[in-house]
Structure 1
Amino acid sequence: MTQAPTRSTDSDGTVPTSSAERSPDSLLAEWREQVLERGVGLSEGQVLDALQLPDERLGDLLQLAHEVRMRWCGPEVEVESIISLKTGGCPEDCHFCSQSGLFASPVRSAWLNIPSLVEAAKATAKSGATEFCIVAAVRGPDKRLMSQVKAGIEAIRSEVEINVACSLGMLTQEQVDELAEMGVHRYNHNLETSRSFFDKVVTTHTWEERWETLSMVREAGMEVCCGGLLGMGETLAQRAEFAAQLAELEPDEVPLNFLIPQPGTPFADLPVVPAEEALKAVAAFRLALPRTILRFAGGRELTLGDLGAEQGMLGGINAIIVGNYLTNLGRPVDDDLDMLENLKMPIKALNQTL
């Protein structure tokens, strides 16, 4: 099993610091040669430099990230929709999440029935999406939830051809094996933030527990989907640390979320990430993870708006979640599909992902 990293370091073994004394031109030229030409992702210290570039060089950073995406991932965009099988009532205290049963948020516990799950999968496939993710707000699945997931996957497969992913919290080895046997294509379990900041976000379980689940998922042959949430009070150095730790994990997909302050949660009063800062993060994560599926997820609408979303798609993003999120509204599906058409970005075909 892969051991969780203690702290990311640069190639000389030191904990990285910013190269503030170097010019943006020098840094961008170095990254172009390293990432675009050789396909070697940025180190933690280099990611910090990217996050600290002056705003007037944002366009250059986004352009380089787009070129890296095109060189190492290609022009296609993977489109996914998510649905909550079990909403609310979660026993964990993730401070950003309105589904925690420990906070006074307006979200209440509810289960989705199998016919509704199948209809959602059909609608997802009709939109052109190739991935349908079943999500549950739990610490980890119990027998009832595993049975529901199995029944749901069987019902979906009998009606529609689409990849099925799951996000069910922390798993045991037995549960990992069961999901692999069900044919789950990809498993999502976000690390959420850097190891050094995690205990400021969650106290009811550890970062290492999440890492352990991800290691078991990879060893079982499922694709690993692991990202996180920016804008929870972490420093730029901790964002760089997070990017480096994701690079060490080598996930197949990294969803990037931006905090939507949720009423009743401990993070309800945090400010929204400024658009320029969010776009720098998009580009920096692409340069740290040149071959990874980098997906726009929750919060892009609030943080970036329509124009910013297009800039992100031209700044390293090559996958999006369409439609609504678990407890928040997203953009209308047709708006995102129109955006991809206008940007001349083809949607990844299903037969290329099965």
Structure 2
Amino acid sequence: MSVKTSLHPLVEEAVEKVLSGREISFDEALTLLTDARISTPDLVEAGARVTAAFHESKADICAIVSAKTGSCVEDCSFCSQSMHHSADAPSHPLLSDEAIMDAARRAREIGARRFCIVSQGRSPSERDFPRILSLVRRIRNETGLSVDCALGALTEEQAAALKSAGVSTYNHNIETAPSFFPAIVRTHTFEDRVRTVRILKGAGIDACCGGILNLGETPRQRIEFAFALREIDPEIVPVNILNPRPGTPLEDVPAADPWEMVRTIAVFRLVLPKPVFKLAGGREANLGPLQSEAVRAGARGAIVGGYLTTAGGDPAADRRMFASLGLSC
């Protein structure tokens, strides 16, 4: 896609507003997303200009380990790990320390700067939590990686312990718009998720907080989702796109339109100029060769090497993609 110099007037107005330190309104964002007279290339260029103004020319590369998988008590409709669904997903208790250390070493080998320990469940168990704290310290000392966690809901005491152990960032997604959340999750509330994000930010841990596109939400709910994130003010926004899993309630959701996803990322960038957008689960399956356009539209990082229950692409290809766009890894 060639770089455009003249944009649709509404897009130009939005870019000028954001670059001057002001915020676009809900209605402006919704118009940008839905008005057929506004081209997606214009929005991609708008996202590129805003991203260049607020972010360095480098990609934040992260790898994860599904340290504890399956048999989850939550009923998230998109997730194959839920015990409420009939999906055929792996299930195992917390991996051994050496297995997690091996995963961290592999993460470093494939070029990741961050390594995230992910555990299923509502919150970390009393048995697992001390081991995780010890692993955080060990991974930092032995690999030099920044260590993140995604362990579910936290208490203030747990957040303080993670901070003391050296956790730099904690992932806890709000998943979708507040109005759509009850259609996706019933075993906890949207407010429950926001509460945990507030707790970790209060402990001085950066918030990695995003969600999943193409769950069945309306365009208006996508903008509602973006504005909910703006209120939370996370440091990192992981952008997942539904990759439907057999045996889950969302298994028959049609595949996302890749250009629609790129357009959405561009509009999200105008709403949220400061957080690092990280392409995450479903990016290969839904965006394919348009991943580079999603990067131009606003992404400044990616999860590489695989996800919780699905495989990822080639990390070397990811690094080449970022390099081709002028971003160091």
Name the TM tier (shorter chain): over 0.9
Alignment of 1:102-251 (within 5 A): 102-110=84-92, 111-251=94-234
Matching of residue 338 in structure 1 with residue 315 in structure 2: no
Q: Does the 8 A contact of 1:81 with 1:321 survive in 2? A: yes
Aligned to 1:74: 56
SS at match of 1:92: coil
Q: Is the 8 A contact 1:41 1:290 kept in 2?
A: no
- Structure 2 gaps, min length 5: 1-6
The 1-side partners of 2:227 and 2:162 are apart by 28
Q: Which amino acid aligns with 1:81?
A: A
Show CA shifts across 1:104-163 (max 9, x none). Answer: 111132132111111111121222221111000111111112022112213313321010
- Using structure 2 for the length normalisation, give the TM-score: 0.95
Asked whether the equivalents of residues 79 and 320 of structure 1 are also in contact (C-alpha less than 8 Å), the reply is yes
Q: Determine whether 1:267 maps to 2:281.
A: no
Helix, strand or coil: the match of 2:299? Answer: coil
Range that drifts further, 60-69 or 45-54: 45-54
Q: Retained in 2: the 8 A contact 1:114–1:151?
A: no
Q: Structure 1 CA distance, aligned partners of 2:250 and 2:25?
A: 30
Question: What does 1:12-91 align with in structure 2 at a 5 Å threshold?
Answer: 25-35=8-18, 37-54=19-36, 57-91=39-73
What is the rounded CA distance, in whole Å, between the counterparts of 1:56 and 1:310 in structure 2?
21
Unaligned runs of 5+ in 1: 1-23, 348-354
Q: CA deviation at 1:342?
A: 2.1
Q: Which residue of 2 aligns with 1:21?
A: none
Pairwise CA distance, 1:41: 3.6
For the 8 Å contact 1:230–1:258, the answer to whether it is kept is: yes
C-alpha distance in 2 between matches for 1:215 and 1:74: 27
Distance in 1 (CA, whole Å) between partners of 2:59 and 2:35 is 27
Whole-angstrom CA distance in 1 between matches of 2:236 and 2:16? 24
Q: Which deviates more from structure 2 when the two are superposed, residues 121-130 or residues 277-286?
A: 121-130
| TM-score (norm. length: structure 1) | 0.88
Please state how far the C-alpha of 1:46 moved relative to its aligned partner: 1.9
Aligned residues of 1:140 and 1:171 also touching (Cα < 8 A) = yes
1:40–1:290 CA contact under 8 A, matched in 2: no
User: Is 2:266 aligned against 1:301?
Assistant: no
Secondary structure of 1:135's partner? strand
- Give distance in 1, aligned partners of 2:71 and 2:29: 37
Write the distance in 2 (CA, Å) between the matches of 1:200 and 1:220. 31
1:56/1:209 CA distance change after superposition, 3 Å: closer
Q: CA deviation at 1:177?
A: 1.5
Q: Distance in 2 between matches of 1:69 and 1:56?
A: 19
Residue 56 of structure 1: how far off its partner (Å): 6.8
Structure 2 counterpart SS, 1:320: strand
Q: Give the 3 Å change call, closer, same or farther, for CA 257–175 of structure 1 in structure 2.
A: same
CA distance in 2, matches of 1:336, 1:39: 32
Question: Which residue of 2 is the match for residue 256 of structure 1?
Answer: 239
Post-superposition offset of 1:194: 0.8
Letter in 1 for 2:183: K
Indicate the larger mover: 170-179 or 281-290.
Answer: 170-179
CA contact (8 A) 1:39 1:72 kept: no
Whole-Å Cα distance in 2 between the matches of residues 344 and 34 of structure 1? 26
Aligned partner of residue 143 in structure 1, secondary structure: coil
Secondary structure of 1:318 counterpart = strand
Tell me the distance in 2 between the aligned counterparts of 1:25 and 1:158: 51
- Report the counterpart of residue 19 of structure 1 in structure 2: none
- Equivalent residues in 2 for 1:1-20 (5 A)? none
SS in structure 2 at match of 1:319: strand
| C-alpha contact (below 8 Å) 2:115/2:146 kept by paired residues | yes
Q: C-alpha distance in 2, partners of 1:263/1:55? A: 37
Mapped to 2, the partners of 1:74 and 1:143 lie a distance apart of: 40
Q: Distance in 2 between matches of 1:145 and 1:213?
A: 19
State the Cα deviation string for residues 24-71 of structure 1 (Å, max 9, x = none). 823112112101x31334322222112113387111110110111011
Q: Is the 8 A contact 1:114 1:155 kept in 2?
A: no
